[in-house]
Amino acid sequence: MKRGLLLRLSSASKSSVRAARHLPDPPAAPSRAVKPGLKLLPESLRPHPAIILSRTMDILAANPAGLRLYAGVEDWPSRHRNLACYVFLHPVRPHSSATKTFHHPDVGDLTLGYQSMLLEGTPGQRLSAYHAQPGSPDHDAMVLLDLTAPTRARHPASERL
């Protein structure tokens, strides 16, 4: 018995199935693997908040201030830490550097500059690091985020994520 008859497909449905056979495979999910040396980068930037993101904005590695900057994200299971989910209500334009204002429940409002860069040799991973003028209230708030990180968040990024 022919397949089309067995499934009772119309000729339009048969054509659609035939066409679908030749579609390219969907892109693979982005790798969550971070090279060991890259996992050390956010930690080495302390007290400045720093995170490594996948091309789909999954947080792959971070220092304590990097996680605390996005209030509540540190409480999410690591496999569900995605900044697209966190900021989806805010208009987003891609920038490699700019300033962002955060309304943080523990340290108040702070405006930080940031620099974001693609990490060569990775599948679209990017490092984002935040900064403020030393001695400014924003810098003090940024340092406070790092100093008041929960004990479990003080371990290196590679152990947390």
For residue 17, tell me if it sits in a domain.
no
Asked if the structure places residue 104 within a domain, the reply is: yes
Report the DSSP pairing between strands 126-131 and 97-104: unpaired
Greater confidence (40 vs 71) lies with 40
**Overall number of domains in the chain:** 1
On whether the CB atoms of residues 49 and 130 are closer than 8 A, the answer is yes
Range of the domain at 74: 34-160
> Which pLDDT tens digit goes with each residue over 50-100?
999 998 888 899 999 998 888 776 666 666 666 665 555 445 555 677 888
Query: 2 or 43, which is more confident?
Result: 43
Q: Is residue 42 part of a domain?
A: yes
123 in a structural domain: yes
Other beta carbons within 10 angstroms of residue 2's beta carbon come to 8
Q: What is the pTM of this model?
A: 0.68
Q: In the prediction, which pLDDT does 44 show?
A: 95
Q: What is the pLDDT of residue 150?
A: 74
Is position 5 within any domain?
A: no
Residue 87, domain CATH: 3.30.450
